[in-house]
Amino acid sequence: MSKKVVVIGGGPGGYVAAIRAAQLGAEVHLVEMERYGGTCLNVGCIPTKALLHTAEMYRAMRERAVPGLKAEMVQVDWTGLQKHKQAVVNRLVNGVRSLLEANGVKCHHGKAFLRSARSVEIESDKPETALPADVIVLATGSEPVRLDFPGSELPGVIDSTQALNLQEVPPSLTIVGGGVIGIEFADLFSSLGCKVTVVELLPQILPVMDGEIAACLRKELEKRGVVFLTGAKLKEVKPCSNGDGLIAVVEAPDKTREITARYVLVAVGRRPRTAGLGLESAGVRVERGRIIVDSNFSTGVPGVYAVGDCNGLQMLAHAASAQGVAAVEHALGHRPAYFPSTVPSCIYTSPEAAGVGLTEEEAANKNIPYRVGKFSLAAQRESRDRQRGNRPGKSHCRRKIRRGPGRSPVRAKGY
């Protein structure tokens, strides 16, 4: 008799887990309270990249960086771009639903919570439904971190979801947070002509990435007019006296500054979405909002697993998918293979940056011997400069490969 698997959440972790469980012969139910595809597909990776692609093309045409093409009066059709973005999202959301149906997954729309470790309740516009389960996979994702500061509730203080749906390209934008989300938005809006200031509490942007690569990317963005204030803290936001825009009061290392912009985007990361799931009634342990799991993503309660952002381990869409596969394989008696040290990460700026494994700083802090290899992209940069009629300049872009002594490459960073 096949096991009954109930997956809560239809994002990259949940829908992939559901499909894999169905492939292994389980009877699978998936519960989603919003749209299939989760944060990544609806208000994260996919819509951001759709906008970034057009922004990169616009900047290339404006800077005459495409050989053999000459375009005059290139303009941004923001309304058209938003329609394109939503069309891409809708197409992929429908694709996820089709994949689930094709694999025999029974889909339910509503809010799910645990009555016990063997029962899931669904609240919707229909009468409450109880789903008995042999295995429960929690894949409820995450939500933007909301900072509490004076002025945080003012109109114009927005999060990443709201930034994706602005009605126009703002003339100016202050971004609080220099992580992956903040820097991608800095690249996007600065490419479209917006004046961007990034406020980061730590000494450098992109603190989880290789320091040299982060510094190189910062330099590239500064050339486009992005202003960075690192080691700086947002104190408050207040409305402009003329009612047009906001003033961010920032405590920088040298002095307190007041930055005026149309919007203030708070992009300081995401936190697991675990409230209201009934975890306590099932005995699932939670610390600081994240569900505690072991190496197989089991919560310690037999048959209950947690994958993706809700466990807070690696908040990446592809990591969530891999965790979902590993969790259901373990639950259904197979031997999963998940290696967190080889999960790559990336940032879709221009230039792009990516890495896998330890950064150079992490290797040094752990006293791990390493070697650094660099490949200069100066020739590519000089060719581009000649096309634009500029003097060739030394490229600051590098590809960095780290090798353990006498071993094949085990850690890499580069763009």
Q: What is the pLDDT of residues 369-401, one digit of tens each?
A: 999 988 877 666 566 666 655 554 444 445 555
Between CA 36 and CA 41 the distance in angstroms is 8
The pLDDT tens digits of the residues spanning 125-143 come to: 777 789 999 999 999 999 9
pLDDT exceeds 80 at position 363: yes
Write down the pLDDT at residue 412: 40
Amino acid 273 reads R
Write down the pLDDT at residue 399: 54
Q: Give the rounded distance of the alpha carbon of 286 from its chain centre.
A: 23
Q: How many CB atoms lie within 10 A of CB 341?
A: 9
Same domain, 32 and 139: yes
Question: Residue 350 domain-assigned?
Answer: no
Domain total of the chain? 3
Between CA 353 and CA 180 the distance in angstroms is 10
Whole-Å CA distances, 410 to 2, 362, 368: 41, 13, 12
Whether the bond between 351 and the residue before it is cis, its omega within 30 degrees of 0, is: yes
Write down the pLDDT at residue 382: 61
Whole-number mean pLDDT of the chain? 91
Last residue of a domain, one of 342, 367, 396: 342
Last residue of a domain, one of 342, 376, 393: 342
Write down the pLDDT at residue 384: 60
Same domain, 12 and 110: yes
Question: Residue 151 domain-assigned?
Answer: no
Write down the pLDDT at residue 138: 98
Same domain, 390 and 260: no
Write down the pLDDT at residue 395: 41
pLDDT exceeds 50 at position 9: yes
Write down the pLDDT at residue 405: 43
Question: Residue 366 domain-assigned?
Answer: yes
Same domain, 11 and 137: yes
Question: Residue 161 domain-assigned?
Answer: yes
Same domain, 232 and 276: no
Write down the pLDDT at residue 71: 81
Is 82:381 a contact under the CB 8 Å cutoff?
no
Short-list 233, 234, 183, CA closest to 208: 183
The share of the chain scoring above pLDDT 70, in percent, equals: 90
Last residue of a domain, one of 317, 342, 367: 342
Q: Domain limits at 12?
A: 4-143+271-342
Between CA 387 and CA 352 the distance in angstroms is 21
Same domain, 229 and 378: no
Between CA 325 and CA 348 the distance in angstroms is 26
